[in-house]
Chain A
Amino acid sequence: MKSKAIKESNGDRLFNIVVNTTLFLFTVSVLYPLVFIVSASISSPESVMSGKVWLWPVDFSLEGYQAVFKHKLIGTSFVNSLFYTGVGTAINVVFTLMAAYPLSRKDFYIRNWIMALLVFTMLFSGGLIPSYLLVKDLGLLNTRWALLLPGAIGVWNVIIARTYFRTTFPDELLEAAQIDGCSDFMFVRRIVLPLSGPIIAVTTLFYAVGHWNSFFNAMLYLKDQSMYPLQLVLREILVQNQVDSSMIVDVEEAMAREGLRELLKYSLIVVSTFPVLIIYPFIQKHFVKGMMIGSLKG
């Protein structure tokens, strides 16, 4: 760090070795399963079954991926998930900003009451069954709305956005605009939104990853397979080990071989995580930023 000019003592050199070794071990143990899965997904079914794959791919083959793309349910559910993620996130972000902006304003008279109303939902909830009955009573059961509406606002994200608004837009700016006859709507449209890129990015990412990865609401509320999101299909294949061979168009005989089934799982893990991991390097710093904003107490 700062001590570059000073020659390092033996103790410090030992310290560096310990630190770097620890980090190296951490990193390798996190990385290894990931590398193994990717390697297994591009190996041949036989080598996966016989346990020959342990780090690098053995007998390169794309059979697993072919099986994934031939699986009808995976294709439709992938599209469904894109829909839920896109529309759901849009609803989330709009609602969150709508809630967060007034709460950031000191002259919003009832803000403390509303805040209490929101925060209380983080501490206490009616529970699973009453929520289920509500969705049922609203007639949302087995509709796509059931995955979009419950959970439309994450209170945590509202708090993050509110903190951002508060620290970004000083009272003086608002007062100056108001003197010039700017209404609140206009202020939001012309000044707040254009300057809120970072916070919109952060909340979008938090919500989008949440939508893409969620399965439980779908399991609870959907009956119709044609509306299933990807994660629910993944659950059937990866967790419950149900590979319905009728879903696979022309590799039925091949599916008889268990090897391909295992291979399909590895490929499926890669395919389903791909959309998140491909944008991950770009969004990583935003997530970190979001965590930081969130950790500032509003």
Chain B
Amino acid sequence: MDMSRERHHVDLTTSKSGNALLRSMKKGWQLYVLMLLPVLYIVIFKYVPMYGALIAFKNFVPTKGIIGSEWVGLKYFQRFFESYEFWRIMKNTIWLSLYQLLVGFPFPILLALCLNYVKHAFFKKSVQMITYAPHFISVVVMVGIIFQVLDPRTGVVNSILQFMGMEPINFLGNPGYFTSIYVWSGLWQNVGFSCIIYLAALSSIDPSLHEAAVMDGASKARRMMHIDLPGILPIAVILLILDTGRILDTGFEKVLLMQNPLNLNVSEVIDTYVYKVGLASTVINYSYSTAIGLFKSVISLVLLLFVNRLSKKVGQEGLW
């Protein structure tokens, strides 16, 4: 498909012999020069680590290097699957993601649908401005805010609880609250920003649909249900499917920061476990940690390919 276009560009006086790549390189060599550094970067910083992931199948000893270390096959994968941590970590990871999905999916849609019916420009702008803002707070500060606000002695939430005559709650010490704190604070931070994409979808709905509905005497609530909601359904489905594909990806940094010895039982997820085994433990095991990470990457890749195909099957556009 590119060939015909290619012919178009190629100077007619150049000989037709030689393959198309060479000809195009000769003519557009400056583009290749531009591309050189970025490609070099991608190969070194992205593809060399993929090669480095081979150590998952070896007994990696830093002094021997990747090639010199001896093969051990699937030993480390097996060790992970058989370890008593495996099911707990998988359960934590999937539950955290699912909970996040259940909460994080509907609210941005609700916010976007409501924003779409605000007549008052100033009110609309203010709501957008305020709800987008927390997105730019760093994960460290976010966790800092959570800790400050929920602190059992000085936190404002407990001050309010006490003011209403209730007992203060040790939110951070009780592992039962961990997942909820993680998910709802995530909603607080991202609900505004996530609704942008739905607002864009809403603004691309044909206004004549609304006009016709108004003519036929449809109320606003009906228009929301029967015009707006179907209008954003395609994008919502794509996002939902993609999120499902990323089920093993939790907000690693936030989880890591929110962990404490008390909640470890519910807060240990694959990513934090990889970090601990590989870099933060007293007995560092590069190969074992890499194997766990690779296990996750492969599952994620397969899931993404699968949901992308699924998305195309149900008549939506896929990622690619």
Contacts and interface: CB of A to CB of B under 8 A. Distances in A.
B114 interface: yes
A134 to B, nearest CB: 5
Contacts of B121: none
A277 B133 contact: yes
B279 interface: yes
Contacts, number: 286
Interface string A195-214: 00000000000000100111
A239 B5 CA distance: 57
A37 B154 CA distance: 13
A185 B30 contact: yes
B24 interface: yes
A105 B31 contact: yes
A134 B160 contact: no
Give the most central of B21, B50, B149, B211: most A CB within 10 Å: B50
A128 interface: yes
Contact of B138 (A40, A272, A280): A272
B143 to A, nearest CB: 5
A227 interface: no
Given A26-B111, A134-B49, A152-B45, A276 B117 contact: no
Query: Which residue among B49, B139, B224 has the maximum number of chain A CB atoms within 10 Å of its CB?
Result: B49
Interface in B95-143: 110-111, 114-115, 117-119, 123, 126-134, 136-141, 143
A99 B38 contact: yes
Given A98-B34, A129-B286, A269-B148, A12 B162 contact: no
Contacts of B25: 109
Given A23-B114, A53-B156, A134-B49, A129 B289 contact: yes
Contacts of A213: 136-140
Contact of A99 (B35, B131, B192): B35
A130 B52 contact: yes
Interface in B166-187: none
Nearest to A96: B38
Interface string A13-42: 001100110110011011101101100100
Interface stretch (A59-67, A68-76, A247-255, A288-296): A288-296
B28 interface: yes
A88 to B, nearest CB: 14
Contacts of B301: 123-124
B52 A133 contact: yes
B214 A2 contact: yes
Interface residues of B, number: 105
Contacts of B297: 124-127
Interface string A237-251: 011000000000000
A83 interface: no
Contacts of A101: 31, 34
B188 A33 contact: yes
B194 to A, nearest CB: 10
A150 interface: yes
Contact of B38 (A22, A27, A98): A98
Contacts of B134: 30, 34
A209 B136 contact: yes
B274 interface: yes
A125 B137 contact: no
Interface size on A, as a range, is 35 or more
A276 B147 CA distance: 21
Given A2-B214, A22-B110, A109-B20, A269 B197 contact: no
A273 B50 contact: no
11 contacts: A2-B211, A51-B159, A95-B37, A101-B34, A118-B42, A124-B300, A125-B50, A129-B279, A152-B41, A214-B138, A215-B253
Rank and list the top 9 A-B pairs by shortest CB-CB distance, nearest first: A126-B49, A238-B144, A130-B52, A127-B293, A213-B138, A51-B159, A99-B38, A184-B30, A130-B49
A36 B149 contact: yes
Contacts of A292: 196, 200
Nearest to A268: B144
Contacts of A150: 45
Contact of B140 (A131, A231, A276): A231
A11 B222 CA distance: 10
A33 B156 CA distance: 9
Contacts of B296: 127
